[in-house]
Amino acid sequence: MLGARTGSMMWVMGAMLALSACTAAVHDGGSSTGGYAAPAAHPVTPAVPAGTEPFQALVNDAHARFAGVTEGKNADYIPILATIPSELYGVAIATRDGHVYTAGDVDYRFSIQSVSKPFTAALVMQQYGGPEIIAEKIGVEPTGLPFNSKLALEIYKARSVNPLVNAGAIAAVSLVKAKNEKERWQHVLGNLEGFAGEKLPMLEKVYDSEYTTAFGNRGIANLLFNWERLYSEPEEALRVYTRECSVGVNTVDLALMGATLANGGVNPKTGKRMLDESSVPELLAIMMTAGFYDESGRWSFDAGLPAKTGVGGGIVAVVPGRFAIAAFSPRLNEAGNSVRAQKAIRYIAGKLGVGLFGPNGD
């Protein structure tokens, strides 16, 4: 039997051993313990001062660097999108004072799809005197689920959830103040044109292809109506929503739409106010938390910028108060986000160090 004194000495020695093992684990990154693994070195690139950004060199570089990427595939649940040439690839930056820098296929018109969603949310904010209407009638929580999720409607009390997934976007269209369907559509189209600063065509073939296969979205519209979270007749909201998704834009249009948000809501090309400056932060916050659907966390982690994607292959990201970066390439990843477009935008954002939480590095 050990005496009390010997026992306590052994306890002290044991504790010291344990402590030194612990210290060693911290010093060697814990690899020997199989627990904590030290992060890889993460060099931080200092931010490029505003006014000195080499925008043209960067769009050229981003375009060239990812030109050979063939990962992903065109959306095909809207049949016509599968026929868009997958090789198309454009990159553009538009600044808050209206300068535009481009590389690649920036004149090709593709369907805007979900990139339209934040802009229609902006229209609703304008019509109702501020952003609160969106929180109250639609919701502002990211779902962590795919853009067309019906499950999200069941598990979240707010039902339509946020205006950047299909449910919330159909609800946003239904909230647009209009006396009939024609006027609703004119408001929605006119608003997108105001953000782009030019007339935009409707891609009728895209509309037909989507509307004739829109059984999922029709289900969503009817569910929302059932829960009193849709504010017009469901089929009307579905038609106008599908039309809005079929509007043809090019990469420069998207960059200018984003630059309007970067410019506090005023289109830098036309000088027209599209959104009150006081509503811009709320809209950008929704884009940050939900613009990439169930990849929004990863996008914020990588790029730190509010952005919106669409299954047509377009993406626009906003650097508040400065500029917007847009890119287009039809091949999408599993979440429905363009592979090359996000690489290009991430690359430019990293080079300029413009992530909102600090420079994200290269």
* Contact set with ligand GLN (CB under 6 A): 113-114, 147-148, 166, 210, 217, 245, 310-311, 336
Alpha carbons 284 and 292: distance in angstroms, whole number: 13
Nearer to ligand GLN, 15 or 151 (CB): 151
**224: nearest Cα among 264, 258, 274, 174:** 174
**Which positions ≥6 away from 163 have C-beta within 8 Å?**
117, 118, 120, 121, 124, 134, 138, 169, 171, 172, 286
Residue given tokens 């006396």 in the structure block: 179
DSSP symbol at 294:
G
* Minimum CB–partner distance for residue 293 and ligand GLN (Å): 7
Nearer to ligand GLN, 92 or 247 (CB): 247
* Minimum CB–partner distance for residue 301 and ligand GLN (Å): 20
Angle at 145 (CA atoms; ends 140, 148), nearest 5 degrees: 90
* Minimum CB–partner distance for residue 113 and ligand GLN (Å): 3
Nearer to ligand GLN, 44 or 151 (CB): 151
* Minimum CB–partner distance for residue 32 and ligand GLN (Å): 46
Nearer to ligand GLN, 330 or 336 (CB): 336
* Minimum CB–partner distance for residue 50 and ligand GLN (Å): 32
- Token reading at 22: 């612990």
Alpha carbons 206 and 19: distance in angstroms, whole number: 66
Alpha carbons 295 and 280: distance in angstroms, whole number: 22
Q: Element (H or E) spanning 342, and its range?
A: helix 339-352
Nearer to ligand GLN, 300 or 309 (CB): 309
Nearer to ligand GLN, 108 or 293 (CB): 293
> Cβ distance 36 to 296 under 8 Å?
no
Per DSSP, the residues of 35-89 read: S--PPPP-PPPPPPPTT---HHHHHHHHHHHHTT---SB---SSGGGGGS-TT--
* Minimum CB–partner distance for residue 327 and ligand GLN (Å): 15
Nearer to ligand GLN, 101 or 207 (CB): 207
Nearer to ligand GLN, 116 or 279 (CB): 116
